[in-house]
Amino acid sequence: MKPIFIFLIALLTLNACREARNAINISGKAQGTTYNITYLAGPYSNYRESIDSIFTAIDMSLSTYVPGSIISRVNRNEPGVTVDEHFIEVFKKSMEVSDITQGAFDITVAPLVNAYGFGANRKRSVDQILLDSILPLVGYKKISLQGDKIIKENPGMKVDMNAIAQGYTVDVLASFLESKGIQNYLVELGGELRAKGEKLDGSVWNVGIEKPDEDQANERSLYTQINLENRSLATSGNYRQFYEEDGKKYTHIINPITGYPAKNNLLSATVIAPDCVTADAYATSFIVMGLERSKQFLASHKELGLDVYFIYDEQGKWMTYITENLDRQLLKSQ
């Protein structure tokens, strides 16, 4: 009877664990976009208030749209400004990616972003004369972190961390969930994602890669789907944030070296990495680099552990470039 008794106890314990595991979803708006967080936990594990606090803390550090944020005060050169842990982490990661991409990623691109009207400032009439006056204010090697203070070579320099802040926020939210003992979750913010564990039915989290279609209006359709197993994903592209003026198209991802919006046949760059801040930074970098330079970069930097799904234009036809390790995770393609 003893083995049967032990078996019954084990079965009851298993059933109790299953009953205690609920799929909790928290969604809303933050950082100028939407977020959706799903995790498996007990019925009394709703952490919306803590999640809202995390968004607020990061905005007060990294948002150029919050006048009193640390980054806004740094950009205004207010005396005695010290940076916090969020700012330091993102700054260090930015410098790391800037260095390895040889400046394709650069948070000092803010004066250019503002000039084109994609930042917190009003759009200006951009011509070569204006660019020539702005470019001396751009360059990641001209800014440094000394202790908890930012040092600029030129006080006219400004920083913009929007190309990396959402990925960082996803990682912070994921770390918070794990601190609560949660091992099964999907965190999504503005299309940047981090997944761990499994869904309630025991299957792997699957996520979509959007079609880089400028004519979608407000509807987003999927180009393909992949299984995301204990990794992060971020996508960058110039097909959503852009405007046309005098017959020219101006996109929101700026080449910090030339001063012009990135323009090449790479329509969207999806990067899968161990953490979302890394995926986010390199997704932007690859849009600046373009298809061929990005492929060369990936071939020579395999130690980074990046997988990519590129959608590019080949004489008017959409084509894809996929790293070998990612093939097995593809669910369907249109």
What pLDDT digit, counting tens, does each position of 245-267 carry? Answer: 555 655 678 899 998 888 889 99
Per-residue pLDDT of the chain (334 residues; tens, 9 = 90+): 444 443 333 433 444 444 457 999 999 999 999 999 999 998 788 999 999 999 999 999 999 999 999 999 999 999 999 999 999 999 999 999 999 999 999 999 999 988 888 776 666 677 889 889 999 999 999 999 999 999 999 999 999 999 999 999 999 999 999 999 999 999 999 999 999 999 999 999 999 998 887 664 455 688 889 999 999 999 998 776 655 555 565 567 889 999 888 888 999 999 999 999 999 999 999 999 999 999 999 999 999 999 999 999 998 899 999 998 886 666 644 4
Please give the model's pTM, rounded to 2 decimal places: 0.89
Q: Give the per-residue pLDDT at 218.
A: 52
Whether residue 13 is contained in a domain is answered as: no
Domain count, the chain: 1
Whether residue 1 is contained in a domain is answered as: no
Whether residue 33 is contained in a domain is answered as: yes
Whether residue 307 is contained in a domain is answered as: yes
Distance from C-alpha of 287 to C-alpha of 307, rounded to nearest angstrom: 15
Residue indicated by tokens 């205004």: 76
Looking at residue 281, which CATH number applies to its domain?
A: 3.10.520.10
Whether residue 15 is contained in a domain is answered as: no
Whether residue 16 is contained in a domain is answered as: no
Whether residue 152 is contained in a domain is answered as: yes
Q: Give the per-residue pLDDT at 332.
A: 46
Q: What is the pLDDT of residues 179-238, one digit of tens each?
A: 999 999 999 999 999 999 999 999 999 999 988 876 644 556 888 899 999 999 999 987
Domain carrying residue 191 = 22-333
Whether residue 14 is contained in a domain is answered as: no
